[in-house]
Amino acid sequence: KLDLAGRIARSLGSNLREERVQAVDSVDLSVMPGEVLGLVGESGCGKSTLGRMLCSILPRSEGKIYYKGQDIDTLKGQDLKEYNMNVQMIFQDPFASLNPRKRVRNIIGEAPLFHKLTSSSELDDYLAKVMLRCGLDPSYTHRYPHQFSGGQRQRIGIARAMAVQPECLVCDESVAALDVSIQAQILNLFMELRNELNLTCLFISHDLGVVEHISDRIAVMYLGRVVEVAPVDEIFSNPFHPYTKALLDEVPRLDRRGVDFTPLKGEIPSPLDPPSGCHFHPRCPHAMDICKKEAPIDIEIAPGRRTCCHLATMP
């Protein structure tokens, strides 16, 4: 079980100024073993920041992450190595995340050699198995990333992660840069790997339509806060939070009769200066006076369903 709790912030640097942005605020989320949690929201809502903090790519200023009950800040030596191996990140842009000067053999093979999952003499066999499993031709180990198509490059990114036999994948917009037909192939590969290996996944996307088929549960984020968590079917058939409803409105579907959808007005506000109270109030069609003054608290509205909205506490 993976637990994220507390308030988490990061620093953003730019040429002009450096300001602290609370990219992730009061997030409390768990991912169960073997579960796929889809994390959705517009760009800038903090979902990538959350994913990167899980993989120790970004530091936290506050808050805790627990992996199998253990606070990851207390891990040292071999335990820390194992955590870093067990939780692997798969990025959005497979081209930017693959070193253009390295051959596929090194890109995929370095980490399993380092972690002693294979030896130099057995590396070819090891690579062949991983590459085949990820839909890559094992005879291409001498090639460079630019010699592959976008979809194949993403398979290389997945093979690099799978080569260390992880338990948990953090996929950040992992199909967003691909054509729709290729997206489906890569999503299918994720589902196969997940089913075969009982992988736990945090699947981050701005697009509810992408996470729908792969997720067991969905967490919706808005400006650094998780506003709704529910099983995937219920997010689609009976969304609670006005922001979830607005996001759903952007997913073209035929089977959503009976749910009142409200289009999203306005731009997402700057995370440097988020609105008071409920961050969503300037865009919310149901905003009340209290919404401007007080941030709603996270409450359980049904077993396994949580939301952050004052409407949930109205009689």
Residues within the interface to ligand SF4 (CB under 6 A): 241-242, 278, 280-281, 284, 286-288, 291, 296, 309-311
- Judged by beta carbon distances under 5 to 8 A according to partner kind, the member of Mg ion, ligand SF4, none in contact with residue 235 is none
Can residue 48 be called a binding residue for Mg ion (CB under 5 A)? yes
Residue 38 binding partner per list ligand SF4, Mg ion, none, with a CB distance cut-off of 5 to 8 Å that depends on partner kind = none
Strands 36-40 and 200-205: parallel
- Kindly give the interhelix angle for 180-197 and 150-162, rounded to the nearest 10 degrees: 20
Residue nearer to Mg ion on the CB measure, 48 or 141: 48
Nearer to ligand SF4, 264 or 284 (CB): 284
SS (HEC) of the chain: CEEEECCEEEEEECCCCEEEEEEECCCCEEECCCCEEEEECCCCCCHHHHHHHHCCCCCCCCCEEEECCEEHHHCCHHHHHHHHHHEEEECCCCCCCCCCCCCHHHHHHHHHHHCCCCCHHHHHHHHHHHHHHCCCCHHHCCCCHHHCCHHHHHHHHHHHHHCCCCCEEEEECCCCCCCHHHHHHHHHHHHHHHHHHCCEEEEEECCHHHHHCCCCEEEEEECCEEEEEEEHHHHHHCCCCHHHHHHHCCCCCCCCCCCCCCCCCCCCCCCCCCCCCCCCHHHCCCCCHHHHHCCCCEEEEECCEEEECHHHHCC
Could you tell which of Mg ion, ligand SF4, none binds residue 178, using a CB distance below 5 to 8 A set by kind? Answer: none
The nearest distance, CB 41 to ligand SF4, in angstroms, is 14
Q: Least distance (Å) from Mg ion to the CB of residue 154?
A: 16
Q: For residues 58-117, which are near Mg ion according to CB under 5 A? A: none
In the list ligand SF4, Mg ion, none, the entry touching 80 (Cβ below 5 to 8 angstroms by class) is none
CB of 240 to ligand SF4, least distance (A): 9
Nearest distance from C-beta of residue 309 to ligand SF4, angstroms? 3
Work out what residue 48 binds among Mg ion, ligand SF4, none; the CB cut-off runs from 5 to 8 Å by kind: Mg ion
Q: Is the Cβ of residue 31 or residue 45 nearer to ligand SF4 in the bound state?
A: 45
Between 122 and 289, name the residue whose CB sits nearer to ligand SF4: 289
Residue 205 token pair: 């996307």
Answer with the entry of ligand SF4, Mg ion, none that 311 interacts with (C-beta below 5 to 8 A by kind).
Answer: ligand SF4
> Which residues 6+ apart lie within 8 Å of 106 measured at CB?
none
The nearest distance, CB 6 to ligand SF4, in angstroms, is 22
Q: Report the residue number, 75 or 287, with the smaller CB distance to ligand SF4.
A: 287
By a kind-dependent CB cut-off of 5 to 8 A, residue 245 interacts, out of Mg ion, ligand SF4, none, with: none
CB of 306 to ligand SF4, least distance (A): 13
- Nearer to Mg ion among residue 48 and residue 183 (C-beta): 48
Q: Which stretch binds Mg ion (CB under 5 A): 1-9, 40-48, 114-122, 282-290?
A: 40-48
Helix axis angle, 123-133 to 150-162, nearest 10°: 120
> What does the binding site for Mg ion look like in residue numbers (CB under 5 A)?
48
